[in-house]
């Protein structure tokens, strides 16, 4: 699972919102935490109202101070300062992923603003776009001090495409470690909620599109039950539902309804115009939701699945149970 967590910090209280989440995960998984600061070239004097760390000595002292805080007490904590000033902080964080070999990056979603943010995304989104390491993105609450965190319930949206479900085995392992419940969600778009090429096709063939969406919902019921059975084979409490409409809106509503603490998603890491035309949900979710998002880059699907699916006999038992349930479901239809 996640044995080494990388936590990038810029010296601001906003960035420190990631610390309670990182500490909680590290304790549950007995993980090492590395605090990272990247010195930025031509950086402003302040960042989010706090003094910006512009010198390596400042950064090293700051990370020492953070490592000694009670919230990280008892954990294996390391510090690393990238002393050579860089222009691209996000790329430097990704490169440190190669150098320091973390399993998970935990960081707050804040950074650029205005038009530049719209095109390039936050630094956290850029890290996802550039990197191959799962990233736990924590939204800042604006509080003066980092807020406590606990994970009792996890929401896992799936859409039936295998490449997008790579987050599910990770969610299962993390739920087991945290003794958390899983809630699986499938969102089937309505006609008005279609995006990109699907929306263009729907304008030409609205009746056919509606029928296809209804068939998609029927198939989703069978697939969702299969995934529930697979997760239950690991001894987890699992619930599930299908919603219709815009994926982001439905994920946000489901998060609030079940009081989820973490949302787990597979992502292509699209930002800016690419995300706009692809109808990617992650940039919108990072803006509209105040819960941590565990984003799993789809490009690493095969590696992640091999590493996280666990004991082969348990996996086989889950698949066999799911197949039996699938056959039973079809007979009832």
> Strands, DSSP E only, in the chain?
4-8, 32-40, 46-47, 50-51, 76-86, 104-108, 135-138, 153-158, 181-188, 238-244, 262-267, 293-297
Structurally, at CATH architecture level, domain 4-138 sits in 3-Layer(aba) Sandwich (3.40)
What's the rounded Cα separation, in Å, for the pair 203 and 42?
49
264 and 156 Cβ atoms separated by less than 8 Å: yes
What are 186's two structure tokens?
């499938």
Burial (Cβ within 10 Å: 0-12, 13-18, ≥19) of residue 73: exposed
| CA dist., res. 273 & res. 113, Å (int) | 16
Of 3.65.10.10, 3.30.390.30, 3.30.1540.20, 3.40.50.620, the CATH number of 153-262+299-332 is 3.40.50.620
pLDDT for the residue 176: 96
pLDDT of residue 141: 59
> What is the model's pLDDT at position 185?
95
| Closest to 17 measured CA to CA, from 315, 292, 318, 298 | 292
Residue 49 confidence (pLDDT): 59
Please give the pLDDT value at position 164: 74
Kindly report the three-state secondary structure assignment for every residue of 203-243: HHCHHHHHHHHHHHHHHHHHHHHHHHHHHHCCCCCEEEEEE
CA gap 72, 156 in Å, rounded: 28
Question: Taking the C-alpha atoms of 190, 193, 195 and 197 in order, what is their torsion angle to the nearest 10 degrees?
Answer: 30
Beta bridge partners of 153: 181
Q: Which residues does the chain have with pLDDT short of 70?
A: 42-52, 110-122, 125, 140-146, 193, 196, 202, 269-280, 299-333
Structure confidence by residue, pLDDT tens digits, 246-289: 888 999 999 999 999 999 988 776 554 344 334 467 777 777 88
The pLDDT assigned to 276 comes to 38
SS3 state at 297: strand
Q: What are phi and psi of 50, to 5 degrees?
A: -115, 155
- Residue 333, pLDDT score: 41
Q: Do domains 4-138 and 153-262+299-332 have the same CATH topology?
A: yes
pLDDT at position 45 is 62
Q: In 3-state terms, what secondary structure has residue 150?
A: coil
* Residue 90 to residue 50: CA distance in whole angstroms: 20
Dihedral pair phi/psi, residue 308, rounded to 5°: -105, -10
Domain boundaries, given as residue ranges, for the chain: 4-138, 153-262+299-332
Q: What is the Cα–Cα distance from 10 to 43, expressed in whole angstroms?
A: 11
């Amino acid at each position: 699972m996640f044995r080494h967590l990388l936590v990038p910090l810029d010296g601001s209280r906003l960035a420190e919102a990631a610390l309670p989440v990182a500490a909680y995960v590290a304790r549950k998984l007995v993980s090492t935490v590395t605090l990272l600061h990247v010195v930025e070239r031509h950086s402003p004097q302040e960042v989010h109202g706090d003094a910006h760390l512009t010198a390596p000595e400042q950064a090293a002292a700051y990370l020492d101070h953070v490592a000694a805080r009670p919230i990280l007490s008892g954990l294996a904590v390391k510090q690393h300062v990238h002393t050579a000033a860089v222009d691209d902080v996000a790329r430097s964080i990704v490169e440190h992923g190669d150098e320091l070999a973390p399993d998970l990056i935990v960081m707050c979603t804040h950074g650029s603003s205005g038009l530049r943010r719209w095109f390039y995304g936050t630094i956290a989104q850029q890290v996802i776009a550039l990197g191959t390491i799962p990233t736990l993105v924590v939204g800042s609450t604006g509080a003066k001090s980092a807020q406590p965190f606990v994970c009792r319930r996890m929401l896992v949206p799936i859409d039936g495409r295998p490449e997008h479900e790579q987050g599910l085995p990770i969610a299962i392992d993390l739920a087991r470690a945290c003794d958390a419940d899983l809630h699986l969600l499938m969102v089937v778009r309505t006609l008005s909620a279609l995006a990109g090429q699907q929306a263009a096709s729907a304008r030409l063939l609205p009746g056919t599109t509606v029928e296809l969406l209804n068939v998609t919902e029927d198939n989703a019921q069978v697939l969702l039950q299969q995934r529930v059975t697979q997760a239950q084979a690991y001894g987890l409490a699992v619930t599930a539902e299908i919603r219709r409409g815009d994926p982001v809106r439905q994920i946000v509503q489901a998060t609030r309804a079940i009081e989820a603490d973490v949302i787990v998603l597979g992502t292509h890491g699209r930002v800016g115009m690419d995300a706009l035309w692809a109808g990617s949900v992650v940039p919108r979710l990072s803006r509209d939701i105040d819960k941590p998002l565990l984003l799993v880059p789809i490009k690493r699907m095969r590696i992640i699945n091999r590493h996280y699916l666990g004991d082969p006999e348990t996996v086989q038992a889950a698949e066999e149970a799911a197949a039996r349930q699938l056959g039973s479901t079809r007979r009832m239809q």
